[in-house]
């Protein structure tokens, strides 16, 4: 449902709300921090002050769900969040992840040993300045470590009050079901956008279960927003930008969808968030849906 909040000045509020885990209410259009880092998701941003402005502006525009990870930088994105937003507003929800290590730009080896996941959770708590992480996600399942050991460690952290809810990233329906034998899974985060829909089965199942679905690369990292975008013609007709249409399509696709478009530019942030205010007709949604890549 859409809240009665002022959506002119706080467009993210127009995306409606979703309760992560049944008790963490957030606006469905959030913000992902990966693009705040350097090339290859490695090192600091090229413009530190703009990165801080982006995070502060996101809150002003109604964003209350921020997705990050220890591996973004590594550690850079979490540090920026704390610098920009701490002490956090009561309504700000920060989701972070662990389970991918960094051996260089664009390199992401998975490590799911329980002691490593615990270390990273403890370090994220310290970096973010939190006593409890609202949503802690296993960034990837490590094939070298039993799934029950990886999720089991997160369950221990949850039982200790250090994390509130547990999520998974890049998983299948069967993997979520297996994880649910160990702990309650409240969210999944898979690659999904208008042109890349391999996770359709997981999305539909998540909707049936009331599990939040966080699509990463919701704009195909610019592939849906450039001059050659397949959305350009429809966007001009609608008086919107391709990015706004791509996000509006995601929001209409499912009530459990929680897109987290990221950017290092305040201008792009403001443009993206207006996507929450665009209402697609069923015919427009169907036309966009035909652009499957």
| CA distance linking residue 119 with residue 126, whole number of Å | 11
For 11-26, the DSSP string reads GGGGG-EEEETTTEEE
* Residue appearing with tokens 């467009």: 11
Q: Which residues of 34-72 are buried (b: 16+ CB within 10 A; e: fewer)?
A: bbbbeeebbeebeeeebbbbbbebbbebbbbbbbbbbbb
In the chain, which ranges are E strands? Answer: 17-20, 24-27, 31-32, 65-67, 93-98, 133-138, 163-169, 185-191, 212-216
Q: Say what the pLDDT of residue 7 is.
A: 72
Per the structure block, which two tokens stand in for 52? 């801080």
| CA distance linking residue 39 with residue 44, whole number of Å | 9
Q: Say what the pLDDT of residue 141 is.
A: 98
Nearest to 166 by CA among 78, 222, 99: 99
Q: Say what the pLDDT of residue 293 is.
A: 56
Nearest to 263 by CA among 82, 57, 20: 57
Nearest to 158 by CA among 135, 124, 130, 128: 135
| CA distance linking residue 172 with residue 188, whole number of Å | 9
For 172-183, the DSSP string reads -HHHHHHHHTTS
Model's pTM, two decimal places?
0.95
Per the structure block, which two tokens stand in for 154? 């997160």
| CA distance linking residue 214 with residue 187, whole number of Å | 7
| CA distance linking residue 192 with residue 127, whole number of Å | 29
| Parallel, antiparallel or unpaired: strands 17-20 and 24-27 | antiparallel
Q: Say what the pLDDT of residue 221 is.
A: 63
Task: Judge whether 211 and 185 are in contact, CB under 8 Å.
Answer: yes
Q: Say what the pLDDT of residue 1 is.
A: 38
Q: What is the pLDDT along the chain (293 residues), one digit of tens a residue?
A: 344 456 779 999 999 999 999 999 999 999 999 999 999 999 999 999 999 999 999 999 999 999 999 999 999 999 999 999 999 999 999 999 999 999 999 999 999 999 999 999 999 999 999 999 999 999 999 999 999 999 999 999 999 999 999 999 999 999 999 999 999 999 999 999 998 999 999 999 999 999 999 999 988 766 777 777 778 888 889 999 999 999 999 999 999 999 999 999 999 999 999 999 999 999 999 999 988 75
Q: In what order do the strands lie in the sheet with 212-216?
A: 31-32, 65-67, 93-98, 133-138, 163-169, 185-191, 212-216
| CA distance linking residue 20 with residue 81, whole number of Å | 20
Return the active site residues: 72
């Amino acid at each position: 449902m859409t809240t009665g909040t002022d959506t002119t000045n706080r467009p993210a509020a127009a995306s409606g709300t979703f309760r992560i885990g049944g008790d963490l209410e957030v606006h469905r259009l959030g913000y992902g921090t990966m693009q705040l880092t350097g090339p290859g998701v490695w090192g600091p941003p090229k413009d530190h002050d703009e990165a801080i402005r982006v995070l502060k502006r996101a809150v002003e525009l109604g964003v209350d769900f921020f997705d990050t990870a220890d591996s973004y930088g590594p550690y850079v994105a979490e540090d920026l969040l704390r610098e920009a937003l701490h002490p956090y507003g009561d309504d700000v929800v920060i989701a972070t992840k662990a389970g991918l290590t960094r051996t260089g730009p664009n390199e992401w080896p998975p490590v799911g040993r329980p002691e490593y996941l615990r270390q990273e959770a403890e370090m994220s708590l310290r970096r973010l300045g939190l006593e409890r992480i609202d949503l802690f996600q296993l960034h990837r399942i490590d094939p070298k470590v039993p799934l029950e050991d990886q999720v089991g460690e997160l369950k221990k952290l949850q039982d200790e009050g250090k994390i509130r809810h547990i999520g998974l990233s890049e998983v299948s329906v069967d993997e979520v079901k297996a994880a649910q034998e160990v702990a309650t899974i409240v969210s999944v985060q898979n690659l999904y956008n208008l042109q890349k829909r391999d996770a359709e089965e997981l999305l539909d199942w998540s909707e049936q279960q009331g599990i939040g679905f966080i699509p990463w690369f919701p704009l195909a990292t610019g592939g849906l927003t450039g001059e050659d975008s397949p959305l350009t013609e429809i966007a001009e007709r609608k008086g919107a930008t391709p990015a706004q249409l791509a996000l509006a399509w995601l929001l209409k696709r499912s009530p459990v969808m929680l897109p987290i478009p990221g950017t290092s530019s305040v201008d792009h942030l403001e443009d993206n968030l207006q996507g929450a205010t665009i209402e697609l007709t069923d015919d427009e949604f169907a036309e966009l849906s035909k652009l499957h890549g």
